[in-house]
Amino acid sequence: MTDINPVNGKKELLPLTNDHVFRKIFGEENVGALADFLSAVLELPEDEFEQLIVDDPNLHPERGGGKSSQLDIRAHTKKGEIINIEVQLNPEQGFRNRVVFYNGLLFTGQLDEGQLYSALNRTISIVITNYRLINENEDYFNVGLSNIEARQRI
């Protein structure tokens, strides 16, 4: 995807971190690329990505006046796990809460009336930033790009 530079009028490639470009490269039209990305980032068996489904990224409120949200990428694995991928380049107040909110909607949106809680599938949020979102903490799984590259080489 390209954009016109307003200063010099030349076409320039949009960065991968642009929401539209990211969705185009890893969205439903290119599930193979998404599967490769998830395989590199998550420690899930490869067969989990055999039936990877990219779903509508919109989260609709369950009540009138509730907040609508749009994820960058929402996918489901073969086992039914739900994966949310978010790209955020600029530190934004409340962004961590927004990720938790999205994850909560993905989790609670799985059950219909009368279903047992044991039917809930795990939800996974992958957040890509160019800044440190969470300081080292045992409660979170943090992987830097250099760790992913090293793991792939092993």
pLDDT in tens, 48-68: 888 888 887 777 766 666 777
The alpha-helical segments, DSSP class H, found in 12-130 are 19-26, 31-41, 95-108
What's the mean pLDDT when you consider all of the chain? 79
Q: Cα dist. 72→8, 88, 114 in Å? A: 30, 10, 31
Q: What CA–CA distance (Å, rounded) separates 91 from 88?
A: 7
The residue assigned the tokens 């999205």 is 102
Question: Is residue 153 in a domain?
Answer: no
Q: Tell me which amino acid residue 13 is.
A: L
Question: Is residue 17 in a domain?
Answer: yes
Report pTM.
0.74
Question: Is residue 150 in a domain?
Answer: no
| Res. 147: pLDDT tops 50 | no
Question: Is residue 154 in a domain?
Answer: no
* Nearby residues of 135 by Cβ (< 8 Å), 6 or more positions away: none
Question: Is residue 16 in a domain?
Answer: yes
Question: Is residue 7 in a domain?
Answer: yes
67: helix, strand or coil = coil
Query: Total domain count for the chain?
Result: 1
- The larger pLDDT score, comparing residue 92 to residue 1, is at 92
Q: Residue 138: what pLDDT?
A: 60
Domain hosting 114: range is 2-145
pLDDT in tens, 100-144: 888 888 888 888 899 999 999 999 889 888 777 776 666 665 655
Q: Residue 65: what pLDDT?
A: 67
Question: Is residue 36 in a domain?
Answer: yes
Question: Is residue 152 in a domain?
Answer: no
Region of poorest pLDDT, from 39-43, 71-75, 136-140: 136-140
